[in-house]
Structure 1
Amino acid sequence: MSSGEATPKLEKNEYLKEESNNLRGTLVEELADNSTAGISADASQLTKFHGMYVQDDRDIRGERRAKKLEKAFSFMLRVRLPGGVCSPDQYLMMDQLSSDYGNDTIRLTTRQTYQLHGLLKGNLRNVIRKMDDVLMDSIGACGDINRNVMCQPDFKKTHAHAKVYEIAKNISLHLLPKGKAYREIFIDGEKFSGEVEEEPIYGTTYLPRKFKIGVAIPPTNDVDVFSQDLGFIAIFEGEKLLGFNVTVGGGLGTTHGNDKTYPRVADVMGFCTPEQVNQVAEAVVLAQRDNGSRTDRKNARLKYTIDRMGLAAFKAEVEKRTGFPIAEAKPFEFTTIQDDYGWNQDIEGKWYYVQFVASGRIIDKDGVNLRTAFREIAKIHKGDIRLTPTQNLAFCGIDEADKEAIQKILDENGVAGPEKLSGLRKNAMACPALPTCGLALSESERFIPDLLDEFEKVLDEAGLSDDAISIRMTGCPNGCARPYLAEIGLIGKAPGKYNLYLGAKYNGMRLNTIYKESIKAEEIVPSVEPHLKAYAKERQEGEGFGDFCVRTGVVTPPSKYTVGQD
């Protein structure tokens, strides 16, 4: 920088983090303030690092404004749950907390963990203390930090999963912040003594933006590893785990009208051994910490850092920090993203059951008492429970003697199996959007059931009901349900209006492309219908719907939207 050139102004959040006393800020005082149900904007930025977002019920904003009342504030809490694996006791605690303090629902997220909605400020400590009793926490579930580490759940309990899951857990532990603020504020209640705390990985300003890690086990790419800032693709030779291909620079969030923001699939940077994983993960985080933009949060994710530096230069930065070279990547193949629904046996002869959960919402509604069923099963279940990256839930390690009792609970509560689900519905995801998300521009979770009903009429006519076609919807362009990797992607643009995207590769290795902009909700199905019917008649053997849309010129994605060669 020349002597006459002004120093770039940092984003406000950078000063806030540095001056927060290791994420304490004024949280103790504001949580104790009974004059409001909310907290200040600065404090709300810090609660994210502790796993919480401030929200309000947008359905009643106008009504409360007319009565000169503040917004109906509440908190959403997100759990840190590496790989989505928990015990029945931990699940039952989530269920209890949702009743005692939340809105009587549990939500399974697209990052393979739990969210509780509707928590009041005065109850946050009670919730977190009870979570702590069953060894659960929300540290780093949000904020400018490494978030929940995803891992392919592999319901079959192959030897692959046991090895890879332990590595995913270790990554999460290795990248946890070391400060004491979380326990001090929400659990122990002891006042900070004033000693200087060291954050050897994150420093005083943490990362420029959020950071996401996913671990995949081919041939399943349910974690959408190429959407992650950092990905690890397990490479096996028979039963032996050779190591992982390392991917960097994925990310899906954009901003409407800002061409400097865009979704991006990750690059394959190379290969590392199992013993090198934590070192590589830390080195990538450090390289992003020191090179990511702190002057523009909209361009602060790792994807923009790599596009600015170039992959070769970024890899050199990583190798400088690891002290060893990143080896050449090894061959891999992904074929599916779909969960293994229903009853199946694992390699030990035990059963596992994967239940479809619409948009991840565990609720008793319209005669389907899903939450009651899950609670009753958890009371008798002896194995573990696994959340999937596609918002579903699996009971694993079920003895033959317990299978009938579990099925009876499902039947008595009106919980249907996968037999009547279309291939589209099995591959559908949606974010919560309205009324709780402050960023939502349109409906998502509340709208997608009706949309799927309409699509299924077309699929039935075309003979495509059983075909696996991915569809994902979000109420804004931030991409929480990973819509840019769906063969049919819908992004909220305005109330009742969406951008329609087509042409992603089903296995998650190519982004989709915008097909129609700002169309009305009722125009979505008619816009896609002719292409679905053409696909049914003209597709090539083994060709997915997204591939068909690209081959026939419905959309033409730029080359940078694809991982490697199709």
Structure 2
Amino acid sequence: MSEKKLSANEGIKTRSNYLRGTIAEGLADLSTGSLSEDDQQLLKFHGSYQQDDRDLRPDRRKHRLEKAFSFMLRIRLPGGVATPHQWLETDRMAMQYANETIKLTTRQAFQLHGVIKSNLKRTIKEINDCAMDTIAACGDVNRNVMCNPNPFLSSVHAEVIQAARDISAHLTPQTRAYHEIWLDGEKMTTTEEEQEPIYGKTYLPRKFKITIAVPPSNDVDIFANDLSFIAIVENGKVVGYNVAIGGGMGMTHGNEATYPRIADVIGYCPAEKVVDVAEKVVLVQRDYGDRTDRKHSRLKYTVQDYGVDWFLKQINSYLGYDLEPTRPYHFEDNGDRYGWVEDEAGNFHFTLFVSGGRVLDTPTYPMLTGLREIAKIHDGDFRLTANQNLMIANVSAKKRAEVEALLEKYGMHRAHEQSAMRLATIACVALPTCGLALAEAERYLPEVITNLEEKLEEYGLRHDAITVRMTGCPNGCGRPFISEIGFVGRGPDRYNVYLGGGHAGQRLSKLYRQDVAAGEIIDLLSPILKRYAKEADEGEHFGDFVIRTGYVNATVQGDDFHKNIKPEATATAG
């Protein structure tokens, strides 16, 4: 039998001369707002996606105009920590080059939307000028490394943020293409071929995501990522990390060979070995991941196909030593803690709810302006959470009153005084800019929650933090497949509805209803919420309740995800 043909992207990478392609030439061509198809793929490695405003497509088509092309830029922030200066610079670039908003992503990064091609190079250079970058924020490489913002143990946060930065730096592509194209770096003139010591010429088969969590908080959703480290803390110090592999959210409608998967915790490593372990897991995926089918190329499929034991054996072989047995840990939830918190060092942290992670000014809520004013006087840092919210962190005692006054002036001090369900939401960008979106998410989820809140008040559930996530497509950027209620776009104003994810992100949800019209969501969920209010055991979470009462079957792993789904049989459960 002949070998399977490599995917088209493998050829693009091979021909690209280490991610250069013809991006520089495409940027110079101002006859179009677009880049070539191959360069659009390579551009992702540099931290950008070409997009267009899909709301404008019909009118521009009518007038025979090119699509309203622009570019999304993703700014890497290992661990999600930014200085006040970096916040102010991101704000300035959003106003000057983008669409006057800042998007806080579910991976603790900034996104700027609406950057036109003629401003792309200038914007990336200015991002780098303030000690941030966009390289490897997208593409078939390790993405932004996440870690728990943990406002309670500042010493532990210092250790995990350093680990996140060390891993990020070690796994950053070494190609000079980024500096040549965007920062006017000196072009290589040597006849020797450039080297990528970790990735090689074709990089990874697909994207790779790493997180670090500090129990009892799983706010970074370690089970939804390719590789995760669970901090083991003794006497206020991180002594090491449990290692989890093989998580991932994306799937494709109608393709049962694709599925979300929960990561397996396979062992433990001392703290000083965390970068080495991260590298070796990446190398195993580089060498054994599927390069023939991009829908089957994530690490989760490598683990599922070869088996967890096989993968662990490979890791140990690459390391030259064995991972130690897993150490005990416990997660309680994957949400954020809002409002003011004081840590053991006497510093204060305020976590601000940001709906959909979209920081902008509206006539009634000038949040962007308010945060700009806070950044001007803030003496700590800003921390982006994995739930798209913002922590104004390390506020000194002498500055707290000033920060509090600005929070109140701009209406942010009570942003978290809302239903617990709304505070536990995530929505991806979706329409109008994401080219993959099949349905609304960020623009529609707040309306769904508003309508559900009437029922929550009626049933006495206002303070129940039921996790709700909505994505415009099944790629799962908002991690809907581990939420207690998940909406996944299937078409215009239509969603698949999932129920039963773990409250701490430790269990997959199950498909409850397929192809539900947007206008039917409230009627579908109301009877279940009402029954939960009446019949839930003391302390029982919603996700556990819907499994116990038979709305959905207990979740299974890997390629069994699509099996035993019988939504028609659950119609009488309510």
2:476 corresponds to 1:479: yes
Picking from 249, 267, 271, the partner of 2:268 is: 271
Corresponding residue of 2:409: 412
SS at the partner of 1:241?
A: strand
Corresponding residue of 2:259: 262
Answer with 523-532 or 247-256: which moved more. Answer: 523-532
Picking from 250, 255, 261, the partner of 1:253 is: 250
The 1:419–1:54 alpha-carbon spacing in structure 2 relative to 1, beyond 3 Å, is: closer
What one-letter code is carried by the residue in structure 2 that aligns with 1:441? Answer: L
Separation in 1 of the partners of 2:114 and 2:41?
18
Corresponding residue of 2:517: 520
Picking from 484, 497, 509, the partner of 1:500 is: 497
2:386 corresponds to 1:389: yes
SS at the partner of 2:501?
A: coil
Are the aligned partners of 2:338 and 2:416 in contact in 1 as well (CA < 8 Å)? Answer: no
Separation in 2 of the partners of 1:6 and 1:215?
41
Picking from 30, 35, 43, the partner of 1:34 is: 30
Picking from 289, 307, 323, the partner of 1:310 is: 307
Unaligned runs of 5+ residues in structure 2 are 561-574
The TM-score with structure 1 as length reference comes to: 0.97
**Cα offset for 1:158?**
2.7
The 1:436–1:221 alpha-carbon spacing in structure 2 relative to 1, beyond 3 Å, is: same
What one-letter code is carried by the residue in structure 2 that aligns with 1:259? Answer: E
SS at the partner of 1:397?
A: strand
**Cα offset for 1:156?**
2.7
**Cα offset for 1:424?**
0.3
Are the aligned partners of 2:352 and 2:416 in contact in 1 as well (CA < 8 Å)? Answer: no
Corresponding residue of 1:107: 103
Separation in 2 of the partners of 1:342 and 1:399?
16
Corresponding residue of 2:432: 435
What one-letter code is carried by the residue in structure 1 that aligns with 2:4? Answer: P
What one-letter code is carried by the residue in structure 1 that aligns with 2:9? Answer: N
Map Cα deviations across residues 184-220 of structure 1 (whole Å, 9 max, x no partner).
Answer: 1001254442542110110000000000001000000
Corresponding residue of 1:556: 553
Picking from 179, 186, 189, the partner of 1:183 is: 179
**Cα offset for 1:27?**
0.6
Separation in 2 of the partners of 1:15 and 1:419?
49
The 1:29–1:95 alpha-carbon spacing in structure 2 relative to 1, beyond 3 Å, is: same
Picking from 98, 112, 117, the partner of 1:116 is: 112
What one-letter code is carried by the residue in structure 1 that aligns with 2:359? Answer: I
SS at the partner of 2:557?
A: helix
Separation in 2 of the partners of 1:222 and 1:357?
15
Corresponding residue of 2:458: 461
Corresponding residue of 2:563: none
Are the aligned partners of 2:509 and 2:555 in contact in 1 as well (CA < 8 Å)? Answer: no
Question: Any residues of structure 2 matched to 1:219-238 within 5 Å, and which?
Answer: 219-238=216-235
**Cα offset for 1:352?**
1.1
Corresponding residue of 1:151: 147
What one-letter code is carried by the residue in structure 2 that aligns with 1:160? Answer: V
**Cα offset for 1:418?**
4.4
What one-letter code is carried by the residue in structure 1 that aligns with 2:160? Answer: V
Separation in 2 of the partners of 1:401 and 1:168?
30
Picking from 277, 293, 297, the partner of 1:296 is: 293
The 1:99–1:530 alpha-carbon spacing in structure 2 relative to 1, beyond 3 Å, is: same
Picking from 12, 15, 23, the partner of 1:16 is: 12
Map Cα deviations across residues 134-192 of structure 1 (whole Å, 9 max, x no partner).
Answer: 11100100000000000000123432111111111101011011111101100125444
Separation in 1 of the partners of 2:270 and 2:206?
28
2:135 corresponds to 1:135: no
Separation in 2 of the partners of 1:324 and 1:93?
45
Corresponding residue of 1:98: 94
**Cα offset for 1:416?**
4.4
Unaligned runs of 5+ residues in structure 1 are none
Separation in 1 of the partners of 2:438 and 2:459?
32
Identical-pair percentage: 51
**Cα offset for 1:449?**
1.0
The 1:181–1:457 alpha-carbon spacing in structure 2 relative to 1, beyond 3 Å, is: same
Corresponding residue of 1:282: 279
Separation in 2 of the partners of 1:78 and 1:438?
16
Map Cα deviations across residues 292-324 of structure 1 (whole Å, 9 max, x no partner).
Answer: 101100000000001111111111111111000
Are the aligned partners of 1:156 and 1:352 in contact in 2 as well (CA < 8 Å)? Answer: no
What one-letter code is carried by the residue in structure 1 that aligns with 2:448? Answer: L
What one-letter code is carried by the residue in structure 2 that aligns with 1:17? Answer: K
Corresponding residue of 2:565: none
Question: Any residues of structure 2 matched to 1:305-384 within 5 Å, and which?
Answer: 305-384=302-381
SS at the partner of 1:326?
A: coil
The TM-score with structure 2 as length reference comes to: 0.96
SS at the partner of 2:489?
A: strand
Separation in 2 of the partners of 1:558 and 1:489?
14
Separation in 2 of the partners of 1:310 and 1:189?
44
Separation in 2 of the partners of 1:135 and 1:211?
23
Picking from 374, 399, 419, the partner of 2:396 is: 399
**Cα offset for 1:131?**
1.3
Separation in 2 of the partners of 1:365 and 1:558?
41
Separation in 2 of the partners of 1:419 and 1:105?
20
Separation in 1 of the partners of 2:362 and 2:272?
47
SS at the partner of 1:420?
A: coil
Separation in 2 of the partners of 1:234 and 1:157?
12
**Cα offset for 1:132?**
1.4
Separation in 2 of the partners of 1:245 and 1:421?
35
Corresponding residue of 1:241: 238
Separation in 2 of the partners of 1:330 and 1:259?
35
Are the aligned partners of 2:547 and 2:553 in contact in 1 as well (CA < 8 Å)? Answer: yes
Superposed CA RMSD in Å reads 1.2
**Cα offset for 1:419?**
5.0
Answer with 337-346 or 17-26: which moved more. Answer: 337-346
SS at the partner of 2:183?
A: helix
Separation in 2 of the partners of 1:291 and 1:139?
24
SS at the partner of 1:74?
A: strand
SS at the partner of 1:333?
A: coil
Picking from 162, 165, 170, the partner of 2:161 is: 165
**Cα offset for 1:238?**
2.4
SS at the partner of 2:457?
A: helix
Corresponding residue of 1:205: 202
What one-letter code is carried by the residue in structure 1 that aligns with 2:213? Answer: A
What one-letter code is carried by the residue in structure 1 that aligns with 2:25? Answer: E
